[in-house]
């Protein structure tokens, strides 16, 4: 492909994407096609001969775009995948073109410097001082894994990374934690049964009395407490654990304190509901995801550490084939020495360009709009006797449920699942379902700068209509147990 062909094709793609953004609200949020049909579109052997750019682009227009989930649509309110901001899209285009590997300084000096600056912006937002550091990751899953490895190494005085796990250890987290915590406890060698899944209170914050009891029980049984995982914005309701209280317990017990702010970190930019006074800076490590509520395109998460020396202690290995003989003054920062990944995508560009183009103030206004939308839906649910919210939303996540006293919980769960399916089939919205305290709920989470208050009103009207329709045709009705 020569320069002219690249330029012509690039212009066509930019025009296509520009029209896509302009028209996104007219599209179905979720494609009207079953998995078999979509799979069949791509059922072909490995191509042996080249195709023209026109034919390749034509296939994308026929096979890819019509069957995407349009997460930038204002009616997408399911999983926490925000609308990507346009400058971030352009950043990824540039990123792929220059193909900098941030793992080693020699493969991307300016990219390394940019990532270090973006990490500094994030640590400053969280309230850390100049001793802090971190890495950009693929997302919260990898960030939580790295954080728990750091905690394991710190608490075992680095014995575990050399000799493996020799004692029995425990990690403590809320029942509202993200599943990545379970996987991380497994991957650092403790085993999933080492995770203590603690109950929450009526606000879905981890119960401190349950934490204290679990620690005492483990110590009595010869199991050593290793790490507490606090949540700064639970996936279901946006609840924030009491980080200061968790810090006191962690200090007393000699434990690592990690806080998962993958979703809730966006509230650090809020103007109306700022959460920079919740003690986040007291954590030993923090997970935060710019590709969630900073509206950056996938993928970019971050693991931040109060003391960046811990990164080097846990990962500091220099194989001979990566030695930089020119770094006589030790000024060439080598991310592979201070992190888990060696080959690393240039993820900071989309975050840097987003902050430069829109500024923290504009991004914070988008976040506040999403919180207002959740609070508006909460008010609508409170006023309708047939619905109830799980809790007042501190962030943009809200769970509401349809309550029919004639339905048992099994029937209620089926109703919520069927209504969510009907909403998906309607094409105007996409929401998810979840379970809280043994009950089924609709989980709704606007993290989209295109969503407006009218969308929340339209969604609630649709839920009212569909819940009544499904409820009226439910054949089995029982009296709910008290």
Q: What is the pLDDT of residues 90-148, one digit of tens each?
A: 999 999 999 999 999 999 999 999 999 999 999 999 999 999 999 999 999 999 999 99
Whether residues 390 and 315 fall in one domain: no
Which tens digits make up the pLDDT trace of 173-217?
A: 999 999 999 999 999 999 999 999 999 999 999 999 999 999 999
Give me the percent of the chain exceeding a pLDDT of 70: 96
Whether residues 129 and 250 fall in one domain: yes
What CA–CA distance (Å, rounded) separates 143 from 343? 16
CB neighbour list of residue 469: distance below 8 Å, 6 or more residues apart: none
Asked whether residue 390 is assigned to any structural domain, the reply reads yes
Whether residues 295 and 442 fall in one domain: no
Which tens digits make up the pLDDT trace of 382-410?
A: 999 999 999 999 999 999 999 988 889 99
pLDDT at 338: 93
Residue carrying structure tokens 């400053």: 124
Whether residues 18 and 136 fall in one domain: no
Whether residues 294 and 171 fall in one domain: yes
Whether residues 115 and 202 fall in one domain: yes
Asked whether residue 89 is assigned to any structural domain, the reply reads no
119 vs 34, residue with greater confidence: 119
**Residue 320: other Cβ atoms inside 10 A:** 5
Asked whether residue 199 is assigned to any structural domain, the reply reads yes
Whether residues 234 and 270 fall in one domain: yes
CB 123 within 8 A of CB 304: yes
Asked whether residue 355 is assigned to any structural domain, the reply reads no
Q: What pLDDT band is residue 267 in, cutting at 50, 70 and 90?
A: very high
Of 51, 71, 91, the residue that ends a domain is: 71
Q: Over 90: is that where the pLDDT of 85 sits?
A: yes
Whether residues 184 and 217 fall in one domain: yes
Which tens digits make up the pLDDT trace of 313-335?
A: 999 887 666 666 555 566 889 99
Which CATH number belongs to the domain containing residue 455 in this structure?
Answer: 3.90.1150.170
Whether residues 288 and 376 fall in one domain: no
Whether residues 192 and 336 fall in one domain: yes
Which tens digits make up the pLDDT trace of 229-261?
A: 999 999 999 999 999 999 999 999 999 999 999
Which CATH number belongs to the domain containing residue 7 in this structure?
Answer: 1.20.1340.10
| C-alpha closest to that of 239 among 378, 391, 365, 431 | 391
Q: In what order do the strands lie in the sheet with 256-260?
A: 133-137, 301-305, 285-288, 256-260, 224-231, 169-174, 195-198
Whether residues 49 and 15 fall in one domain: yes
Number of domains in the chain: 3
Asked whether residue 274 is assigned to any structural domain, the reply reads yes
SS (H, E, C) the chain: CCHHHHHHHHHHHHHHHHHHHHHHHHCCCCCCCCHHHHHHHCCCCCCCCCCCHHHHHHHHHHHHHHHCCCCCCCCECCCCCCCCCHHHHHHHHHHHHHCCCCCCHHHCHHHHHHHHHHHHHHHHHHCCCCCCEEEEECCHHHHHHHHHHHHHHHHCCCCHHHHCCCCCEEEEEECCCCHHHHHHHHHCCCCHHHEEEECECCCCCECHHHHHHHHHHHHHCCCEEEEEEEEECCCCCCCECCHHHHHHHHHHHCCEEEEECCCHHHHHHCCCCCCCCCCHHHCCEEEECHHHHCCCCCCCEEEEECCCHHHHHHHCCCCHHHCCCCCCCCCCCCHHHCCCCCCCCCCHHHHHHHHHHHHHHHHHHHHHHHHHHHHHHHHHHHHCCCEEECCCCCCCCEEEEECCCCCCHHHHHHHHHHHHHHHHHHCCCECEEEEECCEEEEEECCCCCCCCHHHHHHHHHHHHHHHHHHHHHCCCCCCCCC
Whether residues 155 and 17 fall in one domain: no
| C-alpha closest to that of 99 among 343, 296, 335, 324 | 343
Tell me: cis bond preceding 373? Omega within 30 of 0 counts: no
What CA–CA distance (Å, rounded) separates 184 from 344? 20
Q: Over 50: is that where the pLDDT of 481 sits?
A: no
pLDDT at 321: 61
Residue carrying structure tokens 């395109």: 297
Asked whether residue 90 is assigned to any structural domain, the reply reads no
pLDDT at 317: 81
Q: Are strands 256-260 and 285-288 parallel, antiparallel or unpaired?
A: parallel
Domain that holds residue 462: 362-473
Asked whether residue 481 is assigned to any structural domain, the reply reads no
Residue carrying structure tokens 């060698």: 189
b (16+ CB within 10 A) / e for 147-163: bbbbbbbbbbeeebeee
Asked whether residue 246 is assigned to any structural domain, the reply reads yes
Query: Global pTM?
Result: 0.94
CB neighbour list of residue 45: distance below 8 Å, 6 or more residues apart: none
Q: What pLDDT band is residue 269 in, cutting at 50, 70 and 90?
A: very high
- Tell me the C-alpha to C-alpha distance, in Å, between residue 417 and each of 225, 420, 423: 39, 5, 10
pLDDT at 320: 62
Which CATH number belongs to the domain containing residue 255 in this structure?
Answer: 3.40.640.10
């Amino acid at each position: 492909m020569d320069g002219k062909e690249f330029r012509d094709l690039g212009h066509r793609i930019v025009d296509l994407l520009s029209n896509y953004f302009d028209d996104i609200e007219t599209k179905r949020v979720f494609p009207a096609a079953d998995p078999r049909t979509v799979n069949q579109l791509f059922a072909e052997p490995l191509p042996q001969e080249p195709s023209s750019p026109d034919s390749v682009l034509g296939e994308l227009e026929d096979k890819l775009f019509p069957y995407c989930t349009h997460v930038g649509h204002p009616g997408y309110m399911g999983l926490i995948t925000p609308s990507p901001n346009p400058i971030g899209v352009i950043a990824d285009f540039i990123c792929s073109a220059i193909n900098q590997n941030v793992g080693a300084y020699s493969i991307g000096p300016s990219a390394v410097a940019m990532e270090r600056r973006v990490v500094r912006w994030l640590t400053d937002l969280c309230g850390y001082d100049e001793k802090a550091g971190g890495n950009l990751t693929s997302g919260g899953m990898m960030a939580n894994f790295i954080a728990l490895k750091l905690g394991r190494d710190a608490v075992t005085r680095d014995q575990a990374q050399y000799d493996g796990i020799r004692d029995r250890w425990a990690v403590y987290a809320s029942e509202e934690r993200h599943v990545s915590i379970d996987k991380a406890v497994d991957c650092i060698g403790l085993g999933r049964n080492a995770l203590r899944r603690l109950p929450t209170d009526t606000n879905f914050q981890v119960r401190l009395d349950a934490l204290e009891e679990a620690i005492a029980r483990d110590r009595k049984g010869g199991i050593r407490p290793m790490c507490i995982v606090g949540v700064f914005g639970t996936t279901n309701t946006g609840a924030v654990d009491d980080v200061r209280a968790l810090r006191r317990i962690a200090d007393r017990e000699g434990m690592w304190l990690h806080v998962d702010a993958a979703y809730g970190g966006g509230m650090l930019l809020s103007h109306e509901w700022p959460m920079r006074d919740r003690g986040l800076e007291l954590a030993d490590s923090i997970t935060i995801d710019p590709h969630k509520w900073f509206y950056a395109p996938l993928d970019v998460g971050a693991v931040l550490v109060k003391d960046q020396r811990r990164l080097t202690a846990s990962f500091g290995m220099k194989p001979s084939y990566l030695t930089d003989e020119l770094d006589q003054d030790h000024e060439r920062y080598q991310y592979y020495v201070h992190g888990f990944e060696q080959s690393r995508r240039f993820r900071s560009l989309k975050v840097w360009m987003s902050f430069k183009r829109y500024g923290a103030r504009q991004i914070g206004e988008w976040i506040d709009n999403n919180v207002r939308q959740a609070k508006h839906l909460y008010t609508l649910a409170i006023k309708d006797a047939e619905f109830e919210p799980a809790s007042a939303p501190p962030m943009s996540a809200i769970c509401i449920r349809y309550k029919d006293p004639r339905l048992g919980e099994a029937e209620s769960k089926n109703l919520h699942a069927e209504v969510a399916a009907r909403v998906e089939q309607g094409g105007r919205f996409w929401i998810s379902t979840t379970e809280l305290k043994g009950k089924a709920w609709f989980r709704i989470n606007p993290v989209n700068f295109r969503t407006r208050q009218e969308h929340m009103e339209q969604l609630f009207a649709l839920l009212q209509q569909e819940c009544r329709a499904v409820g009226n045709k439910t054949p089995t009705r029982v009296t709910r147990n008290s």
